[in-house]
Every structure is written in structure tokens, then in C-alpha cells.
């Protein structure tokens, strides 16, 4: 689901603009499968991460131009992702009409009740999420012949609506224009993560994307993000905690965190458990809301996939598995990508940080 744009390019860039910096992946469509061509990233210091790169379009554009050039990318066509905490996402129920265009004002009417931003100031995208595959071919044929449904009565359908403020979208457009990169599409990070980490898996899955400043949670059912949640806790908080407890600089604390993630540690270090507590609270809240939305108390998440820059923190997988009694894994965004096996150890290490950009680059290869 993208807020604008279609591309028929055989090779394109997935560019993730985050508070931690920028991440870029170039993928080529190799007989219907993504092939890694190149990748690059830039990082910002923890003290810089309180301000968005998008607040200074020229600086962001210069940085984007630099990493594209240094990566040796062969295309300037790109897909970028909108941060989950800045995107409106909701499921609304509307009458099912034969002409989808007639449903648009009904959907917008529902959205207007849920968002503080006027609908006229947003770019919206919608997708009917009721399972079509459960219907037989004969039922689908009869459905096409059926007369239009009266909006006041008749069959209702659930619609997933995502949207973003036009002002935010314009910031992306300006940055990419200044960088002379063709922005062919913008989509939400949750869809990029589903593409990279879930693929065709129809299970009910919780994706936890733990970044520098925020942790985003998405419950996915049949490949659709049914419920999203974001909390102001991330790897940056762990860095600050280590610095404060040990009386060292943020740079040294960040390096210690990196060393910690690479080492063999029994159990969960207290600093890691400290930042996992609020995340665990939000996960349990998300589970409750998901059951409420589904109106089925027996419905439950079947597995958890962790990704993001802090996905490899020691003890996270074991901790969440035990606390929630759900199988938990670190996601592998390279699983559906052709790549040089000689680079696999390096790519495995950086993979969780690149999950969004990988999913963005794979957008037209579904």
C-alpha cells in the first residue's frame, strides 16, 4: 500500500530516512526475485537524533546525494518510507458498493471522525481487507452481477486506511527533488517490513521494530497490518542508561552497547530489561486491542519477529519468548533476496537495521 506512485523500473532504490541516519539499498528484479546490487548508510550521533533530518531539506538532500554517489547505485529511481509514528492508520467499516469510487466519501467520512487533521490536509490510501479468497469463483461472479448496495443497508466491509499529512509528504518530495533522485513512491514502513520479513506467511505475527528513539509494533494478519502502535523507547535510551551508570561518554556507551550485542551473555542485562519493560506493557496492550478489533477472544498472535538497530541486544529473544509465551525470532530481511554469499556474515549483522529499506526496494517485485 503506497500513498502515491507506481513504477515499472527493473532496478530501484529503497531509502529509509530515520532519526539515526539514512539507509539505502539498490535491488534489481532478477526473474521476479530481488537481487542486491549495492547498499550504503550514514549515521548521526545520539545528540543529533532529537531533530528530524527532514527539518533541513538541503542538508538532508546533500546527505542523500552523497550516499547514493558513494554506493555506486546504477539508478536514481527510489521508493521511500514514512515513519510509522507519523502515519494515520485505522480500520473503518463501510457499506460495500459495486463502484469503489462511491465508497471514497464514505471512507473519508469515517476517517474524519478519527483523525485530528482535516481529511483535506491528508493523502489517504485504502484497501478492503475482508478475505476475498474465502469466496468461490461462482460467488464472485454473482457478486459482480449484483445491483449496487444501498449505503443505508446491505453488506458491510472493513477497510484499512492509511494516511499522512500533505506537509510531511511535501518534505520528502522536496528533499528528493533537491538531491536529484526520482521519488516514484512513498509507502508506510509497516508495509515495507511485512514485505521484507513476512512475505507470503499468512500467520498472525507481531513485528517489533526497535529503532534508535522509538519502538514500533505492528500486528500482521494475512499480510495486512491490522494494528499498529509506537512507543518512545529505543536503543538510544539504552545508550544513555549505560553512559549514566558508568560515567562515560555517549560515544563510548554506544560502542559498549555494540560490543554487548556481539558477545555471549547469559540472561538479560539489567540495562536491557529496563528498556524492555515499557515495550512489554505496550505489547500486551496491543494484544488486547487486536482481540477487540477482531471480536474473537480466541484470536492470538502466533509468532513475534524482532527487527531494527537494537534487534540483536542480548537476551531479547529469550526474554520476550518467556514473558509472552510466544515463539520469537530476529527477522532476516535478506531471506528473499539474492546476494553474494561471501558478504553474508556482514549482511546478517546489519540486516535488522536495513529491513525497512530492503522492503521498500522490493516493492515492485511482489
Express each pLDDT in 212-245 by its tens digit.
Answer: 788 999 999 989 999 999 888 887 777 777 777 7
Q: What is the share, in percent, of the chain residues with pLDDT greater than 90?
A: 47
Closest residue by Cα to residue 162 from 81, 98, 52: 81
3-state SS class at 357: helix
The answer to whether 307 and 206 have CB atoms below 8 angstroms apart is: no
Q: Where are the beta strands (DSSP E) in the chain?
A: 2-4, 11-18, 21-30, 33-43, 77-82, 88-95, 122-128, 156-165, 182-188, 204-210, 215-221, 224-231, 303-307, 327-330, 337-338
User: Would you mind telling me the total number of residues written for the chain in this entry?
Assistant: 366
pLDDT digits (tens, 9 = 90+) for 1-28: 454 454 455 788 999 998 778 999 999 9
Please state, in angstroms and rounded to a whole number, the distance separating the CA atoms of residues 259 and 240. Answer: 15
Lowest mean pLDDT among 84-98, 110-124, 285-299: 285-299
Residues linked to residue 162 through DSSP beta bridges, in sequence order: 89, 125
Tell me what pLDDT residue 131 has.
Answer: 52
3-state SS class at 8: coil
Closest residue by Cα to residue 307 from 219, 216, 186, 226: 216
pLDDT digits (tens, 9 = 90+) for 103-127: 999 999 999 999 989 999 999 999 8
Band the pLDDT of 138: cuts 50, 70, 90: very low
Within 8 A by CB and 6+ apart from 61, the residues are 174, 175, 176, 177, 178, 179
Tell me what pLDDT residue 108 has.
Answer: 93
Band the pLDDT of 154: cuts 50, 70, 90: low
Q: Nearest 5°: phi and psi at 329?
A: -140, 155
Amino acid at each position: 500500500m503506497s500513498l502515491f506512485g507506481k513504477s515499472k523500473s527493473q532496478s530501484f532504490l529503497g531509502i529509509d530516512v530515520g532519526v539515526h541516519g539514512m539507509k539505502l539499498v539498490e535491488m534489481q528484479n532478477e526473474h521476479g526475485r530481488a537481487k542486491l546490487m549495492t547498499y550504503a548508510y550514514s549515521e548521526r550521533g545520539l545528540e543529533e537524533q532529537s531533530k528530524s533530518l527532514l527539518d533541513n531539506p538541503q542538508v538532508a538532500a546533500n546527505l542523500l546525494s552523497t550516499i547514493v554517489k558513494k554506493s555506486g547505485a546504477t539508478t536514481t529511481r527510489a521508493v521511500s518510507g514514512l515513519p510509522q509514528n507519523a502515519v494515520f492508520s485505522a480500520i473503518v467499516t463501510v457499506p460495500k458498493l459495486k463502484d469503489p469510487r462511491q465508497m471514497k466519501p464514505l471512507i473519508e467520512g469515517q476517517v474524519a471522525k478519527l483523525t485530528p487533521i482535516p481529511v483535506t490536509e491528508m493523502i489517504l490510501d485504502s484497501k478492503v481487507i475482508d478475505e476475498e479468497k474465502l469466496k468461490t469463483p461462482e460467488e464472485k461472479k454473482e457478486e459482480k452481477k449484483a445491483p449496487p448496495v444501498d449505503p443505508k443497508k446491505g453488506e458491510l466491509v472493513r477497510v484499512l486506511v492509511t494516511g499522512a499529512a500533505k506537509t510531511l509528504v511535501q518534505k520528502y518530495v522536496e528533499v528528493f527533488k533537491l538531491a536529484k533522485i526520482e521519488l516514484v513512491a512513498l509507502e508506510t514502513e509497516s508495509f515495507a517490513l511485512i514485505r521484507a520479513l513476512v512475505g507470503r506467511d499468512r500467520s498472525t505475527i507481531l513485528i517489533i521494530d526497535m529503532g534508535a528513539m522509538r519502538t514500533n509494533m505492528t500486528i500482521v494478519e494475512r499480510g495486512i497490518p491490522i494494528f499498529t502502535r509506537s512507543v518512545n523507547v529505543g536503543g538510544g535510551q539504552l545508550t544513555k542508561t549505560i553512559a549514566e551508570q558508568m560515567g562515560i561518554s555517549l560515544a563510548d556507551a554506544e560502542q559498549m552497547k555494540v560490543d554487548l550485542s556481539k558477545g555471549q551473555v547469559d540472561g538479560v542485562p539489567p540495562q536491557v530489561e529496563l528498556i524492555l519493560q515499557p515495550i512489554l506493557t505496550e505489547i500486551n496492550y496491543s494484544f488486547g486491542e487486536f482481540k477487540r478489533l477482531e471480536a474473537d477472544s480466541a484470536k492470538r498472535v502466533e509468532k513475534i519477529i524482532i527487527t531494527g538497530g537494537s534487534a540483536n541486544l542480548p537476551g531479547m529473544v529469550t526474554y520476550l519468548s518467556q514473558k509472552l509465551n510466544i515463539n520469537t525470532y530476529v527477522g532476516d530481511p535478506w531471506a528473499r533476496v539474492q546476494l553474494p554469499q561471501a558478504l553474508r556474515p556482514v549482511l546478517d549483522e546489519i540486516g535488522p537495521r536495513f529491513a525497512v529499506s530492503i522492503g521498500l526496494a522490493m516493492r515492485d517485485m511482489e
